[in-house]
Each structure stands twice: as C-alpha cells, then as structure tokens.
Amino acid sequence: MKVIVTGSRGFIGGHLVEALSMRGYEVVGIDRVPGPPRPHREITMDLADMSRQAALRSIVAGADILFHLAGRPGVRGGGVDLDTLRERDNVESTSRVLAAIEPETHVVVTSSSSIYGGALIEDGRVLPLMESAIPQPRGGYARSKLRAEELCAQARESGRTITVVRPFTVAGEGQRDDMAFSIWIAALLAKQPLTILGSGDKLRDVTDIRDVVRGLVRAGERRVNETVNIGSGTSHRVIDMASTLRQIVGGESRLLYAAAAGDDVDATLADTTRCRQLLGFTPFTDLPALLERQVISAVSRREKVRT
C-alpha cells in the first residue's frame, strides 16, 4: 500500500514515517527541507509552489492514503511577513495537495487544537472541547489552520474522504526547539533559569507523540471522514509540568516569569469521545515518563553534536 507523508521531516512527520514503514507501507515523504538519506523515498518540494503542481500530481498518483502534515508550525512568532507565510504554507499548500490527489485517495490532515481558542473554566472545572464547538481562533497560526480546515470541508462536499485531526500539545522525542518543553529542557541542561510565560496556573492537555501517531495511522487505515481530537482528556498546570522537568534534570534552577502573548489561552482540554468511538482508543499521557523520554532524547542529541 502506498502512502504519502507531507512534512515528513517534521516532529510528528518523522515519527509517523517510522511507524508506517514498520507496518510495511510503501512510504513516500515530501518536505521542503532537504536532509540526509532515509530508508524510504524522500522528495524535496515546496508544496505551495504553483510551478510544481504537475510534479506533485505525479508523485501522489496511486496513493492509498496521504497524510498532510506540512505547514508553518508555531503559535508564537513575529515579523511583518509571518501571517503571509502562514497563509502560504498552511492554507495554499493544503489547497495544492487537495487539488493534486486522486478521488480514491483518503487524506488525513493535521490541524490544531488552537482553532478552539481555549477551553472554558466554570466553577474551577475545565470544560472539554468537543469537535462540534464553534471555532474561536486566537492569532494568525490558529486562523490559518481553520482556513485549511474549511478547504477540507469543501473537498468533503465534493465526495472526498478526509480526516481532520486536531492534536493537543504534542510532546516527546524530537519535539520542535520552539516548543515549551524543548525550551525548558535546553535551559535546564545549560543551568539557566526556566522561564514560564504568563501564569503557572494555566492548564494544558499534553499528548504523547506515540498516541498522536497511533491516531493518525488509525484515521488513515479506517478512512475516517470526520474531524477528531487527539488529546488525553487530562489537563496539567504549567507550574507542575515545569517542576517535574526540574526534578528529572536535577540541579538548581530558578523559575522566572515573563509576559505571555495576548492570544495565549488559560486552558486546553480535549473531549476524547469521538477519538474513542472512531479510532478505537483514548490517548493516555504518563507525563513524568514522557518528559523523561524527551530529556533523554535531548541529552543524546547534545552529545552527538559535541562529537
């Protein structure tokens, strides 16, 4: 069975390619960032480049499943061109992919829980975010992801089968350097202060990368034609996550607080009902074990750089 993975050299994409290869699929990866040779076929391509549309159509021809993870990640960032780049890489690239695939190819598109704009807190209780909730995106990244979802909805109306997956704060080995855990681990290993943006009481639903990959694979194999959260259904306080990391790494480190961006939300929490019903499992995050794995991975990478 032939599967395509766009964004194959990214955090989630790299783990997904490995899992699909282990299951015996013929994997073709597409990424705009070139890299060292890998066991599967890897193509360097900018999906938003109109001049490559014919080539893209040829590459994806005959694919049973296409996993679309390529894009411009990150809820934070600045610069006058950032919104333009997000539109190009998150919206236009999705449009190009949907136009290139054959009608029989099932598509799994990775969106983001950021499209919700955060969970409500009532009487001290966080209300889980259901897929049917009206999106209230904060910031350019979330808005670009919502526009990509709208393209998927239009494609469904024309008869395509598409799973839209909304992961909640993905963590684990290989997490991007601009994400909180990676930033904290780097600071702790360098014996620098650990900085928390905003209040340490903010709540986050953290999802193990292994469960995200598991959900993506099942969404593709089952040809789920719905939007599905992939989250653990449990929220953790930011200060508690930081404290756990400090214990794992060890040593003395100060905690510093800095202002958070205006679009930073107070809480996230996935409703896992649809994931359980359609994908057959409920993600579970053993947070200390997950953070320990990520620390070990980060230390290993540092040692390889030094040698």
- Domain boundaries along the sequence of the chain: 2-172+207-233+265-285
The rounded distance, in Å, linking the Cα atoms of 98 and 287 is 36
Please count the CA atoms within 13 angstroms of the CA of 194 that sit on its side-chain side. 26
Specify the CATH class of 2-172+207-233+265-285 in words: alpha beta
- Give burial (CB, 10 Å; 0-12/13-18/19+) of 254: exposed
Provide the residue-wise pLDDT of the chain in tens; the chain has 307 residues: 999 999 999 999 999 999 999 999 999 999 998 888 888 899 999 999 989 999 999 999 999 999 999 999 887 766 668 989 999 999 999 999 999 999 999 999 999 999 999 999 999 899 999 999 999 999 999 999 999 999 999 999 999 999 999 999 999 999 999 999 999 999 999 999 999 999 899 999 999 999 999 999 999 999 999 999 999 999 999 999 999 999 999 877 889 999 887 788 999 999 999 999 999 999 999 999 999 999 999 998 877 666 6
Q: What is the pTM of this model?
A: 0.95
The rounded distance, in Å, linking the Cα atoms of 152 and 110 is 11
The pair of three-digit structure tokens given for residue 121, joined into one six-digit string:
């807190």
Please give the backbone phi and psi of residue 52, each rounded to the nearest 5 degrees, phi first: -100, 10
Is the separation of the CB atoms in 187 and 253 below 8 Å? yes
Cα 128 to chain centroid distance, Å, stands at: 19
